Amino acid sequence: MPQIEWVGTPNFRYGRNGLQPLAIVNHITAGYYPGCLDWMQHPGSQASAHYLVLRNGRILQLVKDENTAWHAGIVSKPDWNLYDGTNPNYYTIGIEHEGMPGDELTEAQYQSTLWLHKQLITKYPAITVDSRHIIGHYRIDSINRPNCPGAKFPWAELFADLKGEHDVDHLVIYADGDVGAALLLSFKLKCPMVHKAFAENIQAKHKHWVGVQGTNGNRNYYYAGSDRIETAKLGL
């Protein structure tokens, strides 16, 4: 189970102007630790978030939930129907993720932010699991933060995990010419298999690809061997 480490920052306001959190705003730091933390702790930056999730899975807390962090106060062409003209900082929890807009979250980072989201949803019932109450910064400031948290943020997986909507635990996905290896692997794992063209239609906790070597960096594994038996074995 992840642990929350208190680090603090002077960049916050006591209280929430009489409001309560009703949404989570996800961010990407556009930089790496420790520089991203230093920035949010520097008084001159006038920026902060409640939490910072590092790529190694550590969760740092800079601002207490009951106080106002400075993470989403600038509103520019918003696409968020919960915005009512009030400063969003007063009624949101800000979660920063270490990385650049083009980065995918690491497995450790994803599991930590998933756990953190669950904790906050439990603590604040107004934060329901939907795209109105769990959003990206770009929904509030589409002009200055169009890539926050970035195109590779795992929205579909996050919502599926939060809702418990995975269709299966394991799914074998194969490329053209790799049906044999996929059959062997799906038999070993006792799970279904599907062609890569239809992979996005099925939610799975673990996706195992055959036919492509390496990893896509998004917690999905690819296997390639010299023959179908070797390829299937690589998936175990």
The number of angstroms, rounded, from the C-alpha of 71 to the middle of its chain's C-alpha atoms is: 17
The mean pLDDT of 11-20, rounded to a whole number, is 98
More confident residue, 69 or 2: 69
pLDDT at 83 over 60: yes
SS3 at position 136: strand
Of 57-66, 104-113, 199-208, the range with the highest mean pLDDT is 57-66
Q: What is the pLDDT of residue 205?
A: 76
Q: So which residues are the catalytic ones?
A: 96
Neighbours of 49 (CB within 10 A): 30
Q: What is the pLDDT of residue 144?
A: 97
Per-residue pLDDT of 151-178, as tens digits, reads 999 999 999 999 987 667 888 888 777 7
Q: What is the pLDDT of residue 28?
A: 99
Measured CA to CA in angstroms, residue 106 lies from 53, 96, 112 at distances of 11, 14, 10
Q: How confident is the model at residue 147 (pLDDT cuts 50, 70, 90)?
A: very high
Q: Which residue is associated with the tokens 């556009």?
A: 30
Rounded to the nearest integer, the mean pLDDT of the chain is 89
The mean pLDDT of 211-230, rounded to a whole number, is 52
Tell the CATH topology of 168-234.
Rossmann fold (3.40.50)
* In the chain, where the domains are located: 4-163, 168-234
The mean pLDDT of 46-71, rounded to a whole number, is 99
* CATH class of the region 4-163: alpha beta
